[in-house]
Amino acid sequence: MRKKSDILEEFEKARELEPDLKKLIERTFDVNEPLLPSKTLLLPYFGTRGNYDNFMKSFYIRELYLEHCFVAYNHEFIKSIGILMKANGIEDAVELCAGTGWLSHWMQKYGLKVTATDNKSWSKYKKSNNFLPLVKKQDAVKAVKANRKTKLFILSWPYMDEVATRIWKAMKPGQMLLYIGEGHGGCTASDSFFRAVEGHEKYLLGITELDDNFLRFSGIHDRPQLYRKP
């Protein structure tokens, strides 16, 4: 078994070897940047497997993102959200449990109309200034009920409690939920959520491109999934 000191040493080596990676991530979380890094630039750092050095690189990139969010954003992915919305007549969206607000920030940068909401109760961020000004303090279920005309809600990496289930129950028939997270038995949402949405996933125009442009951290099994309330 490897000693903790050895693992930390390998991790520090990964930091030293990847200065260009750090610059890419800094661009991702800079409000003054006009565009996100492309998938092509980021891809070499994702999905690395096969040896311990590659594992440490993957671990390092996820640590950089976790200061701000759980999802890796890239230029093509955000563009694909826009294509999905336009192809299906969706003029605006509401992001629920938006966290610090970077997904909505980038959607707005790319010309998409979206409102970010979060109750700002999560202990990791509630005493910090990490929330972007665009994040409206609002409970997720109340946000759903306040936006009855909205066609699309976005929910990424909800906690493993019943919040995702309550969101789904509060939605009215015909409304859609773009869920980004792991599947049944994973580290997001709850069993009751997956039971509730079973059979309601929709493969509308644009969703395949959205999934193709989504970058996953090594060992993490999340993906974008679109559900329509029956």
49 pLDDT band, cuts 50/70/90, is low
pLDDT of residue 128: 57
pLDDT of residue 14: 55
Average the pLDDT over 22-49 and give the result: 88
> At residue 31, does pLDDT exceed 90?
yes
- Rounded Cα gap, residues 73 and 91, in angstroms: 21
- Which run of H or E residues covers position 225? strand 222-228
Residues 6+ apart with CB under 8 A from 109: 34, 35, 78
Average the pLDDT over 24-46 and give the result: 92
176 pLDDT band, cuts 50/70/90, is very high
Q: What is the mean pLDDT of the chain?
A: 88
Question: What radius of gyration do the chain's Cα atoms show?
Answer: 18
24 pLDDT band, cuts 50/70/90, is confident
205 pLDDT band, cuts 50/70/90, is confident
pLDDT of residue 44: 81
Residues 6+ apart with CB under 8 A from 196: 165, 168, 169
pLDDT of residue 169: 98
DSSP 215: B
Return the top range by mean pLDDT from 22-26, 44-48, 57-61, 187-191: 187-191
Output the DSSP codes for 131-178. S-TTEEE--HHHHHHH-TT-SEEEEES--SSSHHHHHHHHSPTT-EEE
- Rounded Cα gap, residues 60 and 56, in angstroms: 6
Instruction: Give the pLDDT confidence of 122-154 residue by residue, as tens digits.
Output: 756 555 568 899 999 999 999 999 999 999 999
Determine the straight-line distance between the first and last CA of the chain, rounded to whole angstroms: 51
Average the pLDDT over 64-76 and give the result: 92
